[in-house]
Amino acid sequence: MILSCQNINKSFVTDDILQDVSFHLEEREKAALIGPNGAGKSTLLKIIMQEIPADSGEVVIAKGKTLGYLAQHQEVSGDNTIYEELLSVKQYLLDMEEKIRTMEQQMKTLTGRELDELLSSYSRLTHQFELEGGYACRSEVVGVLKGLGFEEEDFSRKIGTLSGGQKTRVALGRLLLSNPDIILLDEPTNHLDMDSIAWLETYLINYKGAVFIVSHDRYFLDRVVTKVVEIDRGHVRTFMGNYSAYAEKKAMIRDAEYKAWMNQQQEIKHQEEVIAKLKSFNREKSIKRAESREKMLDKIEVLDKPVEENTEMHLELTPRVVSGNDVLTVKDLAKAFPQQDLFSGVDFSIKRGERVAIIGANGTGKTTILKILNGLVEPDAGEIELGSKVQIGYYDQEHHVLHMEKTIFEEISDEYPYLTNTEIRNVLAAFLFTGDDVFKLISALSGGERGRVSLAKLMLSEANFLILDEPTNHLDIVSKEILEQALNRYTGTVLYVSHDRYFINQTATRILELTNQAMVNYIGNYDYYLEKKEELTQIYAPKEDEAVADASVSATKLDWKQQKEEQARLRKRENDLKKTEAEIEKLETRDSEIDEEMAQPEVAVNVAECVRLSKEKAEIAEKLEELYAKWEELA
């Protein structure tokens, strides 16, 4: 056991956030902490990190074990570049490397016993340096930066020039490179694109320490964790397995608890009816039998009624009118900004009833396309045609459609003045805003609360074409599931951008992948997309017989020129792979030769030669690490 929480209690004013919370983590275990927004997940992480005190209880960390923590909006600061910031985590190795270089210089001037002592120290230090990954530390930094979505041209950017999301990614990189025994992560996927999330999944799965994750990303949790710790109304319950296993077990437990309560209630009612009937006979024996049954009834341990799920919002999306069959046609759309070309030649169309997800790496222009469709951004070129009777409802991830100076009630009443006060309150209650909550200012709301207000307005719009930008951001898992169900029931048309792979898998009937070359069409959900991507990889991989199968994806549309470019790229990759393998073989051979040379008696007493060979061996080790990383990218 590497971490244990025992009977943790925490209250804020009158709210009991955590009540007798107890659970533990084993070494190398990957676990999730889940629960609705406001359940106390981040509070528990801060208690474990001793950032805030618990009212009572104890957190026990195994002796000698280290903790690392990434907060939800954690950022870094300073004058370092991105690369320098992450490399600074390995400062102890850089210091060790500097000491090794100093010792090599000293060897040139020493003789006799002093030299022997220095050689002995040098041997120990270089061995330690190698064991701790000193020769690979720079390539490790580069690997983490690329994995988190930074390009090589970003490495020299100053920390001060980065956005909040980029700074959080740098903070995550620092944490991973520090290799703590226990990693605590609060919403680590918030600022990552799909490729970076997939990289992080693999990194954490293979991580040698324990990992404890707060996340609403169900696909991510399914891939990474083997245990789920659930916070529900202040109490915790532990489930073995990933998120899907937890959800299934949770539903079974809830169903079993409700059935047990119902059965007991029916039995109690039956016994009370029998007792009443026996008493109505008004005979001595029947009264005694009634009293006997009453005593038995008093001894029954009455089950508490399972708490109704009254913390769930209620969302029903219904279009006012039916649109034409052709909802949207986009032809040759292009957009560029002064410092960045986003996309050009984008073509796609959407039919009534489709639920289409746009996916792609950060910075490809997904949100920009949605803003163009809503008239918020002007395209540089292209045609956009909306079909007959199409009415757009827009959900903005930044909630710019909300008015910060208004209350929640005013936000609804000003836009829908025909609604009565009672009707407005009923709508807001469906989105968990009751009592005086409706008079809170929009500016004072959390991201999740603003999301619920935006969804309420979307529902009231009765639009038949919903355009949604990251609709699951800031929603807890239960709210995401409710949104999924509402969209799947919706009879209109949906176009959305999302990084939530689980959400896409549950709702999309078609996926459009925006790349720097084109919009690629996949007729299916996210699992289908992954399957077809793998097929395409196989199709365009080099084959001995040079035969290339036709792609299954309907609109890949690689023309002759693009195919030739792709084939040229693959040939270059194959040549680079062969060259890299040859370089690796050459350096490995030279490394073995150096070992043999250093074992020769005449070399062992030659200080200058020892230093030269040691330095060459270190350079080879560092170069090999770079080549191994390059080979992995090419293979």
Q: How confident is the model at residue 553 (pLDDT cuts 50, 70, 90)?
A: very low
Q: How confident is the model at residue 599 (pLDDT cuts 50, 70, 90)?
A: confident
Tell me the average pLDDT of the chain. Answer: 87
Residues 6+ apart with CB under 8 A from 520: 512, 513, 553, 555, 556
How many CA within 13 A on the CB side of residue 468?
31
What's the pLDDT tens digit per position in 18-54? 999 999 999 999 999 998 877 889 899 999 999 999 9
Whether 65 has a pLDDT exceeding 60, the answer reads: yes
CA dist 188 and 212 (Å) reads: 11
Whether 555 has a pLDDT exceeding 50, the answer reads: no
Question: For residue 607, how many other CB atoms are within 10 A of its CB?
Answer: 16
Q: How confident is the model at residue 630 (pLDDT cuts 50, 70, 90)?
A: confident
What's the pLDDT tens digit per position in 480-504? 998 999 999 999 999 999 999 999 9
Q: Return the higher-pLDDT residue of 445 and 495.
A: 495
Residue 361 φ/ψ, nearest 5 degrees = -65, 160
Q: Return the higher-pLDDT residue of 2 and 307.
A: 2
What's the pLDDT tens digit per position in 412-442? 999 999 999 999 999 998 888 888 889 999 9
The CA-to-CA distance between both ends of the chain, in Å, stands at: 39
Whether 566 has a pLDDT exceeding 80, the answer reads: no
Q: Which pLDDT does position 342 carry in this prediction? A: 87
How many CA within 13 A on the CB side of residue 233?
6
